[in-house]
Structure formats: C-alpha cells, structure tokens
Structure 1
Amino acid sequence: MGQKSVCVYCGSRSGTDPAFAENAEQLGLGLAEAGYRLVYGAGDVGLMGVVARAAQAAGGETFGVIPQHLVEWEVGKVDLTSYVVTETMHERKKVMFMNCHAVVVMPGGAGSLDELFEVLTWRQLGLHEKPVFLMNTNGYWTPLMDLLKHVVESGFADASLLGYVTEVADADGALAGLKKALG
C-alpha cells in the first residue's frame, strides 16, 4: 500500500508551555522519519508552523489545506509538497480528513476541539475507523478526557466513545501509536 498520511490538528498559536512546541517539532520530525505524510491546516504560525517546518526539514511530505479567508491570518505556508485552498472551513476539514489514515490532536484551541469532535462524532456514527490520538502534553487535555468520561457516566454516550480516542503523553507516544496502527 502507498504512503500513509497523518492528519495533525493543533493550535495556530504556540501556547504558554514550551513543551507544546517541542512536541510539535518532535512529531513533525518523527512523521517524516517514519515516512508518513503530514496533513494539516497549512498555517505557518503557532504549532501548525512548527510541526510543518520540522517535517519539511527532515525531508517529509506535507499536505496543507487552508480556507481562503485564513490565508493571511494563519499565513498560508505555500512551500508545502501540496497546498490546497478551500472556500470554507467545512471543506478544509473534509479534505484534511479524507486525505489521512490517522489523526493526532495536539494542544490547541476551539478550532482543534471542533476538528476533534467532528471526527469523534463521525466515528461514533460508524462513518470511519481511523485511529485518533490525543496528545496530552503535560496534562493539557486531561480536563477534556474528564469531560468525555462525564458525558458517558451521565448517559449521553455509550462507553465505547472513550475507546475512539487514544490518549498519549507526548510525540513519542503518538509516533509509537501510529506505528502500531499504521505500520
């Protein structure tokens, strides 16, 4: 089978913890070294820029997807292997997800949460079986995992929901999970 692609959802900001950017760099480097193509939001800012530059520096393939209205705001990174400009955010998310074999969610804001919940909902509805890894760098996503457990405990989702997300501590954990899931 051809090259595997990993969609990375992450912040267009770097966050306050230096470990976020360090893990983004490690992930980008590790994806390239493993021969995975990076699929991401095509920004050259925040963690998005860090993961893409690291993958490029290691000779990895990069596939960026950005909606027209964010080209200036997120500073569209046009030196990628593939660069796609969409009309809407919905199109962006669809193109990113349809062009990957697995998802890694790094620390991020509302956009990353939106992306995560969309693929989580699709999985719950049986629309895909792609692995989703939540990179819980220094406990960033712990409150989210607690919320998902609360949703299940309160009867709003089956316990299987918790199995649709694999929590990993860092880039090494994500890369190990990807290798196990994708080869």
Structure 2
Amino acid sequence: MVILGIMIALVVIIAVYFIATQRSLVMTKENIANAFSQIKVSQQSRFDALTELAKATKSYSEYEYKTLMEVISKRQSSNDIKGIENNEEILRNLSGRINALAENYPDLKASETYKETMQSINKYENTVRTSRMVFNDTVTIYNRKVKQFPSSLVASVLGYKAEDYLEMDDSKSDMPNLEY
C-alpha cells in the first residue's frame, strides 16, 4: 500500500512538472513572438519616417525622390529572421542615401521637416536596437529551457526546438550617422 502511494505521488509530481514546464515553454515562445513583432513595428515606423523624408526631397531632386521611393518599395514582408535582416540592410542603404542627399542640398538639411524626421528616425533606430536585444534575450531564455535537463525532456516530447538569434554583421551594426 505504501509503495502504491509513493508511485502515485511520483506520477503526480512528474505530471505537475511536465505541465509546469510546458506552460513555461509556451509563455517563453509567446514572448519571442511578441519581441519579434515589436521589431517589425519599429522597422515599419522607420520606413514610414524615411518615406516622409524621401517625400521632402521631392522638391529638391525628382530623380533622388524616385530613387529613394524605389529603395523603399524593395522592403520585404518580415515574417522571419531573414526578412528582418534584409529590411535592416534596406534601411541602412536608404538612410545613407538620404544623408548624402542632405549634404548636397543644405536647404533640405536646414528644413524643419528634415530635422523632425531625423529625430524620429533616430528614436525608431534606438527602439529597433532595444527590441533586438529583448528578442535575443528572450530566445536565450527559451533555448536554455529547450536544451537544459530535465526541461529538455519535456521540450523534446512536445516538439519544441531551439530558436535562432537575430544576428548582424559587426560592420553593419550601426545605422549611418544621421545627425543634422
């Protein structure tokens, strides 16, 4: 009778651990999705600000405006890490072009629209950096749960796999200097 009681207690403990670990994995996986979504929102805000800045260049150079709008149109749906990284490259390229254009047109650089938009872009850039750090921190927590014993047993039974980090080339880690 005592052995049966110990066996039942052991089964209950294992079941409670299994359920608690599964809930923890789901919660962390949702946090990853949330952090990824925050990156997408921040990128969209940067694209919007850069689009407004591109529109402001129209009165200075129709050719440059068309070129900038073509670059903006190349952004991709960022439903995966590769899409996020491709959009980052497009944003860096676009920012560099706008910065070069502002150097060629001092009136543009002195305009209030340019100044306000550049402040917004810098704010969004900081938000993207923060969102990327939160994403990678959350992936680290999740990956530890997936890889460390004994939670790795639950994760493998339920089909949870390690997630990839957002990575950037060290040479591309910063946005071009957009100070005005």
Q: Give the structure with the higher percent strand.
A: 1
Q: TM-score with structure 2 length normalisation?
A: 0.25
Q: TM-score, normalised by structure 1?
A: 0.25
The structure in which a higher percent of residues are helix is: 2
Greater gyration radius = 2
Larger RCO (alpha carbons 8 Å, 6+ apart): 2
